[in-house]
Amino acid sequence: MKNIVAASTLFAVALSISLCAHADSPPWNYEDQGQPGGWGAIIGNASPPPMNYPYAECAIGNKQTPVDIGNAAKTPVINGLSFNWKPFTADFYNTGHAIQVQPVEATGYKGTTKVGKDVYPLVQGHLHAPSEHTVNRQKFAAEMHFVNIRNDGRITVVGLLINEGKENLEIQKMLDYTPNTPEVKTHNPTNILFEPRKLLPKGNGKFFTYSGSLTTPPCTEGVNWYVYQTPITMSAEQIEKLRSFYDGNDRDIQSLNGRELVTNK
């Protein structure tokens, strides 16, 4: 019973992250980034001031995501990554800002990501087009984020850069079964088996890691980021289909502000 309750809590947290964390949070969109103050200037209904600026951290935080991973200093990382990502029965979400896949809640999914000795339950994966992280300021066609959340609220995100190339069979499931309802929050629980481990890139296993934030409001900091150097691929047709859901759901690049970008190789 404890496992079921814990799983339910994690899925609720994962969904709240993708749907802006609080039901009374004001609406936002990616075009708001170009306005004075960006997301940080969006006014909510809370009081007293400054509580009526629920996304202030997006503007005043100094450990924000995404960043450019091309020219930063790199030193060896101590903690490695390992994945116990089991296949799961998929619930396909349109969050109103991205397409997302996560386990059907009642299944009590137990897949995890291990960072050193710390274990983080895998709760969802979602797509951005184009990529949010860049390499030497160059964008990729898309980016996949796998969000892992512990019961104490600590978050680790694994980022996969995506180039145009070979068709991706797992991402095709997201494209086929996610409701195409732009800016409308809805989902489609299915009996489709999704295999997240098949999305991990082949190659030398090199990744970059740093302390960052959520890439959508409220831009909460304290998120551990791991971005793989080797991209995975989607076909041109798949990229076009992804953009039919959301084209331009990427946050602007943020300054490192003295943060050290660390690599495992």
List residues bridging with 204 in a β-sheet. none
pLDDT of residue 21: 45
pLDDT of residue 45: 78
The top-level CATH class assigned to 2-263 is alpha beta
d(CA 27, CA 153): 24
pLDDT of residue 44: 85
Q: What is the pTM of this model?
A: 0.90
Residues in the chain predicted with pLDDT less than 50, given as ranges, are: 1-23
pLDDT of residue 15: 43
pLDDT of residue 112: 97
pLDDT of residue 107: 78
pLDDT of residue 19: 39
Q: CB–CB of 218/21 below 8 Å?
A: yes
